[in-house]
Amino acid sequence: MSTDFEREVSAAFHHAADPLPVPRPDLDAIRRAGRRRRVTSFTVAALAAAVLAGGAAAAVLHLPSATSRAAGRPGASARPRPPATSPPAPGASPRPPATSPPAPGASPRPSATGPAVPAAAMADVRAFYSGYPAAARQGQAAVDALIRSYAAGWYAPILQAPAQSGYPPDCFDVAAHGGLDYAPAGLAGGQAIIAVSSSDASGQALYAVVTADQATGKITGIACATGGAPVTATGARDSASGLYQAYLTLRRQGDSPREAVAHIVGAPGYSGGPESESPYLGQLQRAAAWPVLTYDPLLCTPAGLPNVSVTAATVVADGSAGVVELTPSTGLPIVTVVVLGAQGWAVASVACHQP
Amino acid sequence: MDSDREAAFEAFVLGHQAALFRVAFLLSGDRHHAEDLVQGTLERTYQHWRRVAAAGNPEAYVRRMLVNAAADWRRSRRYVVEQSLDSDLALPSQRDGGTDRVESHDVVVRALRGLPARMRAVLVLRYFEDLTEAQTASVLDCSVGTVKSQASRGLARLRAATELRPGAGEIRDRSTP
């Protein structure tokens, strides 16, 4: 330390901090919480190991469950499972049963994420959904044009790829568009969250959780969610965290974004794997956009491998989806929407800012 | 964890918790968040104690965990600070009276609160913990050059604050989008 000012700064810091009464450490509480963390981290490590070993490790980590036994596939239970939904019958809709539709005219429960959704974002989302039936009747070229008009430039090619979940890009049958309900669900990481909802003929509520750039109103993600799925903030947070942990591990080992996505989608027992119908990763795998993507579609950055931490998780769309905000060590926040289908938790959209 | 490791962990906590709390306080600017940061850091320390102890310098290892936790916390709360005279960081001057020196100290510490997380960590580690530039770089996992530049810029911003001597005002952290 050499200058007077540096000495002054040091004195100021000690002046502020030294007189503070120091709380007594609660060693028992620290130990209890530390043990709980160990259990959690073991689970995450097991997931990563299953991914890295391409399924070989999954056999070692196998915890038997009804679904994995039926599927004859080891390791399927290593990911979180929906608490009370049954697997769909072969050929049946992937939507889980037994939920009530919203009352006529009622809005889905908004989340408590603070400031209002900008009117421009609401208007763009409404315009996209209003124009969709006519575009669908005209054909794929018209749908593509509509998507290019209302979706962010980087997201449009991904949205145009066939969805693995079986839902159309907008999540709804064309016939349902007349009765769509739009509800603002707050802001997260610079994205406006809008819950678009409908009910099918059986009364099952269905949601599209749409993220739109807060500044431009352009759609950055559409996640299809079934009404009444018991989504929790913790489950959504764990799902997003698990995906990014595995993805970053693979990327740091030298995988390209495309290779890392393929590894994860192909790994049984992982929440982004084929069993859990991960719509976003599925679309990414099928997207013809890879040659034109100049950025990493999960990390939302053109270069570098930042650390990513989960900073907030909120349940939206009447409890049917979780919005998880992630903060990379460099760059702008990433917003993921996590859903809970009959096969487990899955990241259903990843919203970037313009990379 | 066996009894020897438990004893070593307990000794570590009792020996370092106060220092960790004071660093956490300067990093967060709030004693309650400082308590949370230290609690969370010690939980992770317990979780990984075998590895922490094996690292040879548990204090440095845990200090790094604490700095990272503080940075995560700042990012998570979209750090916009309303500086007010009744904030935790202003309490010492209220207790001690209003001499120029004490006022200057308060201005420095308040200005610290508005700095980006890494710059703030550099200043706290260098001028509160008295770490060398190399030790600071090791804790922050960056180069010595980064420590030097961050310290230089941070000191310049603190100096500017003391020269302006603002009263209660608003400092917006520009490090977060």
Task: Give residue A37's pLDDT band: very low, low, confident or very high (50, 70, 90).
Answer: low
- pLDDT (0 to 100) of residue B95: 41
Cβ proximity of A86 and A70 under 8 Å = no
Identify whether A240 is part of a domain. Answer: yes
Q: Among A32, A28, A35, A40, which residue's Cα sits nearest to residue B13? A: A28
Exposed / middle / buried, residue A112 (Cβ in 10 Å: 0-12, 13-18, 19+)? exposed
Nearest chain B Cα to A309, which residue? B72
Q: Percentage of residues in chain A with pLDDT exceeding 70?
A: 68
- Please list the residue range(s) of chain B that carry CATH number 1.10.10.10: 79-177
- pLDDT (0 to 100) of residue B154: 93
| ipTM reported for the complex, 2 dp | 0.80
Count residue pairs from A and B with Cβ separation < 8 A.
107
Cβ proximity of B65 and B23 under 8 Å = no
- Please list the residue range(s) of chain B that carry CATH number 1.10.1740: 1-77
Which residue from B35, B45, B177 is facing A23, i.e. has the nearest CB? B35
- pLDDT (0 to 100) of residue B102: 60
- pLDDT (0 to 100) of residue B84: 31
For residue A16, the one-letter residue type is A
pLDDT of residue A50 exceeding 90: no
State whether A13 and B112 contact (CB < 8 Å). Answer: yes
pLDDT of residue A155 exceeding 80: yes
Identify whether A17 is part of a domain. Answer: no
Max avg pLDDT among A267-281, A310-324, A336-350: A310-324
pLDDT of residue A150 exceeding 60: yes
Distance CA B173, CA B171 (A): 6
- pLDDT (0 to 100) of residue B169: 36
Taking the Cβ of residue A12 and every Cβ of chain B, the question of whether any pair is shorter than 8 Å is answered with: yes
Range of the domain at A178: 119-351
State whether A16 and B105 contact (CB < 8 Å). Answer: yes
What would the two tokens of residue B98 be? 């209003």
> How large is the average pLDDT for residues B145-171?
76
Task: Give residue A51's pLDDT band: very low, low, confident or very high (50, 70, 90).
Answer: very low
User: Could you tell me which residues are beta bridge partners of residue B80?
Assistant: B172
Identify whether A279 is part of a domain. Answer: yes
A77-91, pLDDT tens digit by residue?
333 332 222 333 333
State whether B22 and A17 contact (CB < 8 Å). Answer: yes
Mutation target to probe the A interface, by most A beta carbons within 10 A, among B22, B23, B65, B100 is B22
Identify whether A196 is part of a domain. Answer: yes
What is the tally of structural domains in chain A? 1
State whether A11 and B95 contact (CB < 8 Å). Answer: no
> How large is the average pLDDT for residues B117-132?
92
Identify whether A206 is part of a domain. Answer: yes
> How large is the average pLDDT for residues A158-184?
77
Contact list in B for residue A311 (CB cut-off 8 A) is 72, 75-76
Identify whether A216 is part of a domain. Answer: yes
Distance CA A103, CA A99 (A): 12
The answer for A 269-328 residues in CB contact with B (under 8 A) is 309, 311-312, 327
What would the two tokens of residue A123 be? 């208007």
Least confident stretch, A95-109, A271-285, B84-98: A95-109
Domain boundaries B79-177, CATH class: mainly alpha
Taking the Cβ of residue A25 and every Cβ of chain B, the question of whether any pair is shorter than 8 Å is answered with: yes
pLDDT of residue B158 exceeding 80: yes
Identify whether A44 is part of a domain. Answer: no
* This prediction's pTM: 0.48
Distance CA B23, CA B27 (A): 6
The three-class DSSP label of residue A193 is strand
Mutation target to probe the B interface, by most B beta carbons within 10 A, among A13, A14, A31, A353 is A13
Identify whether A127 is part of a domain. Answer: yes
Taking the Cβ of residue A114 and every Cβ of chain B, the question of whether any pair is shorter than 8 Å is answered with: no
- pLDDT (0 to 100) of residue B125: 94
- pLDDT (0 to 100) of residue B81: 38
State whether B39 and A26 contact (CB < 8 Å). Answer: yes
Output phi, psi for A295, to 5 deg.
Answer: -150, 165
> How large is the average pLDDT for residues B63-88?
60
> How large is the average pLDDT for residues A308-336?
89
Task: Give residue B12's pLDDT band: very low, low, confident or very high (50, 70, 90).
Answer: confident
Domain boundaries B1-77, CATH class: mainly alpha
> How large is the average pLDDT for residues A138-146?
86
What is the least distance, in Å, from the CA of B60 to any CA of chain A?
Answer: 19
Q: Among A167, A221, A219, which residue's Cα sits nearest to residue A198? A: A167
Task: Give residue A250's pLDDT band: very low, low, confident or very high (50, 70, 90).
Answer: confident
Nearest chain A Cα to B18, which residue? A22
Q: Percentage of residues in chain A with pLDDT exceeding 90?
A: 10
- pLDDT (0 to 100) of residue A24: 78
pLDDT of residue A273 exceeding 50: no
Mean pLDDT for chain A overall: 72
- pLDDT (0 to 100) of residue B114: 85
Contact list in B for residue A12 (CB cut-off 8 A) is 104-106, 108-109
Mutation target to probe the A interface, by most A beta carbons within 10 A, among B65, B105, B130 is B105
pLDDT of residue A314 exceeding 70: yes
